[in-house]
Amino acid sequence: MSPVSQQTGRGGRRSGGRAARVALRAAPLSQDMRPVRPGLSGGQYKPLTEAEVLRIHEAALSALERIGLSQAPPSGIAAMTAAGAILGEDGRLRFPRALVEDMLAKAARGITLHGRDPQHDLELTGTRTHFGTAGAAVHLVDPATGTYRETTAADLYDAARLVQHLDNLHFLQRPMVCRDIPDNFGMDVNTIYACCAGTTKHVGTSFSDPSHVAGCMEMIHAIAGGEAAWRARPFLSNSNCFVVPPMKFAEESCVTMEHCIRAGMPVLLLSAGQAGATAPAPIATAIVQAVAECLAGVVYVNSIAPGHPAIFGTWPFVSDLRTGAMSGGSAEQALLTAGCAQMHRFYGLPGGAAAGISDSKLPDMQAGWEQGITNVLAGLSGLNMVYEAAGMHASLLGFCLESLVLGNDVLGQVQRCVRGIDVTEDSLSLEVMASVCLDGPGHYLGSDQTLKLMQTEYIYPEVGNRMSPREWDEAQKPRLLDTATARKEAILNTAVNMLPPEVDRALRQRFDIVI
C-alpha cells in the first residue's frame, strides 16, 4: 500500500475525493481550458545556434546562385526568369540573392489552413504547432496477424473518420494510396472523397497528373458549396513534391502546382531528399539542400501569384548508411526535422516537416520510442505542421489504423511537453502548501487546487494503462493493442459520413465513388 493510501485508507475521504475527481473529469472542457490543444507554441528547443542558422542560410543562397535547379517546365521557366532568375546554357535556373530576398518579402506569412468546420482552422503563425497524418503508404498493417495487405479507398475513409474523432490529430493529409483503384483520375477523386467524407478537419492531398486538377476542383467546389465559397475558405491543400532531389524540378508536379495556385489551393512545397542518397550525408548540408530547394519553390510560387499561401516543406529524410534504406524513426531524423523548423522560424514562413515515422513493422516498443522522440523534438522546435505524426510504419511503406489511436495518446503527451510549465503568481502561491502542511491532512489529494487543476494542467491517456499491477490483474490483464483496437472499432461503428446527404448524392452521380 502506498504512503498516501496508508494515510487515507480505502474508504471515506479517499472514495469521496475519487468520486469528485471522476465527476470533474466527465465534465467537458472548453477548448481554451484543455491541457493540450491545436496551436500550442513550441520553440524551446534549438539545435542550431544563431550563427549556424546564418551559415545554413548563406550556404543555401550560394547553392541557388552557383548550382541552381534543372528541369523546370517551360511555364515555370517563363515565370521565374521574368521575375529575375537566370537560365544558363546548361538548362539550369539560377537564382540571384536579390531575387530570393525579394520573393521572401512577398511570401505569405501567418496563413490559415481552413477546416470545413471553422473550429478546426489551423493558424500557422510563429511557433504554433499542429500534428497530423501524411504519406503514401501502399500497405495496411494488421497488428493482430502481423501481416500487410494493399491499402484501399475504404481504409483511407476509415483513417479519416478516426482522425475526425481523435483530438490530438489536427489535420488529415492523405496517409495511404487507394491501391484498389487502377484508374489514376478515379484514384484522385476517391482520395478526396474518402478524406472529406471522413473528416471536417483540414485535408491535404496530391494529384497523380496535372490534367486531373480541373475535374477534382469540380468535386471540391461541390463540397464547398460553390467556387466562391471554396476560395473564401479553401479546406484542402496540395501536397506537392515540386522537386526531385538533388536540385531538380519535377516537371509534372510543377505544372500541377501552377494549376492549384490558380485554383486558389494552398500548396505544401515539399522537398524530400534522403540524407546519404539524394541529399548530402552531413545533417547540416542535408538541411542546406532542403532549404535551397524550398527557397526555389518560394520564388516559383510568388513569381506566379505573390503572397499565395504556401508551406515551406523542408522534409529531408535519413538513410541507414549501412544499407541505404530509409530510417524515419532515427535520432538523426529528429535532428533534421528540428533543424528545419528553426530555419522556418528564421524566414518567418509557415513550415512543415516529418516526424512520428516508425521503422518498426508493427505498433510495438520500437514504434513507441521512435514516434515519441521525433514528435517531441518537432513540437519543442516549434514546427507549424508536423506531418506523418501517427500511423506510419516500415519507413512509410505501411499504415496502421490502431497506431492512429495509439498515436493520439503519444501526441497528447507530446503536446503537454510543448506547453511546458506554467509559472504564474497563482501556480507559485505558497498558501495551499501552508494550509496542507500546517493545518491540513499532509497531502494534496482533496485540495481545491488539485481538483481545479487535474483537468486543465494534466492530460490522461485514453488507451494507455496506468493501473497498479493488482488492478491490472483484476481487470484480466488488458493488453495495450487490444484496448486500442476496441477504441478504433468503437469510433468506426459510430462515425458517420461528414458530407451532407444531398452533396453525397450529387458526387456519386457525377463521379465513380467506390466507397
Give, as one character, the DSSP assignment of residue 503. H
Regarding pTM above 0.85, the answer is yes
Q: Tell me whether the omega of the peptide bond preceding residue 28 falls within 30 degrees of 0, making it cis.
A: no
Residue 290 has pLDDT above 70, yes or no: yes
Give the DSSP per-residue string, 240-262: E--B-SSSBB-HHHHHHHHHHHH
For residue 356, is it within any domain? yes
Is-contact 375 367, C-beta < 8 A? no
For residue 57, is it within any domain? no
Tell me whether residue 350 is exposed, middle or buried, using C-beta atoms within 10 angstroms of its C-beta: 0 to 12, 13 to 18, 19 or more. buried
| Edge-to-edge strand ranges of the sheet holding 325-326 | 274-275, 317-320, 325-326
- As a three-state string, the secondary structure of 330-387 is CHHHHHHHHHHHHHHHHHCCCEEEECCCCCCCCCCHHHHHHHHHHHHHHHHCCCCEEE
**Residue closest to 377 by CA, chosen among 417, 419, 338, 327:** 338
pLDDT, the chain, mean: 94
In tens, the pLDDT along 241-262 reads: 999 999 999 999 999 999 999 9
Q: Sign of dihedral through CA atoms 222, 227, 232, 233? A: positive
**Residue closest to 151 by CA, chosen among 327, 160, 363:** 160
Q: Sign of dihedral through CA atoms 371, 376, 377, 382? A: positive
Beta carbons within 10 angstroms of residue 423's beta carbon: 7
Q: Band the pLDDT of 6: cuts 50, 70, 90.
A: very low
The predicted pLDDT at position 446 comes to: 83
The predicted pLDDT at position 203 comes to: 98
The predicted pLDDT at position 7 comes to: 39
Number of domains in the chain: 1
Domain of residue 231, residue span: 104-418+503-510
For residue 487, is it within any domain? no
CATH code, domain carrying 284: 3.20.20.480
The predicted pLDDT at position 15 comes to: 45
For residue 339, is it within any domain? yes
Give the DSSP per-residue string, 292-306: HHHHHHHHHHHHHST
For residue 392, is it within any domain? yes
Residue 202 has pLDDT above 90, yes or no: yes
Q: Band the pLDDT of 447: cuts 50, 70, 90.
A: confident
Residue 150 has pLDDT above 50, yes or no: yes
The predicted pLDDT at position 11 comes to: 38
Rounded to 5 degrees, φ, ψ at 141 are: -90, 125
For residue 393, is it within any domain? yes
Q: Looking at the chain, how many residues does it have?
A: 515
Strand partners, 446: none
The predicted pLDDT at position 426 comes to: 84
Residue 205 has pLDDT above 60, yes or no: yes
For residue 24, is it within any domain? no
The predicted pLDDT at position 427 comes to: 87
**Euclidean distance between CA atoms 320 and 145, whole angstroms:** 28
**Euclidean distance between CA atoms 348 and 336, whole angstroms:** 18
Give, as one character, the DSSP assignment of residue 276. T
Q: Distance between alpha carbon 334 and the CA centroid of its chain, in Å?
A: 14
H helices of 122-280, where? 153-164, 184-198, 212-224, 227-232, 251-262
C-alpha cell at 411: 501526441
In tens, the pLDDT along 337-359 reads: 999 999 999 999 999 999 999 99
Average pLDDT over residues 440-450: 87
The predicted pLDDT at position 440 comes to: 84
The predicted pLDDT at position 20 comes to: 58
Q: Band the pLDDT of 61: cuts 50, 70, 90.
A: very high
H helices of 107-183, where? 153-164
Question: CB under 8 Å, gap of 24 or more: what pairs does 22-28 form?
Answer: 24/451, 24/454, 24/455, 25/454, 25/455, 25/460, 27/455
Is-contact 130 385, C-beta < 8 A? yes
Distances (CA, A) of 76 to 82, 215, 310, 336: 10, 22, 16, 29
Residue 62 has pLDDT above 50, yes or no: yes
In tens, the pLDDT along 318-335 reads: 999 999 889 999 999 999
In tens, the pLDDT along 452-487 reads: 888 899 999 999 999 999 999 999 999 999 999 999
For residue 28, is it within any domain? no
Tell me whether residue 161 is exposed, middle or buried, using C-beta atoms within 10 angstroms of its C-beta: 0 to 12, 13 to 18, 19 or more. buried
Distances (CA, A) of 162 to 85, 90, 311, 404, 488: 45, 49, 25, 8, 7
CA angle 209, 315, 169 (to 5 degrees): 85
Q: Which residue shows C-alpha cell 501552377?
A: 258
**Residue closest to 161 by CA, chosen among 508, 39, 169:** 169
> H helices then E strands: how many in the chain?
19, 19
**Euclidean distance between CA atoms 287 and 83, whole angstroms:** 26
Percent of the chain with pLDDT over 90: 88
**Euclidean distance between CA atoms 51 and 18, whole angstroms:** 53
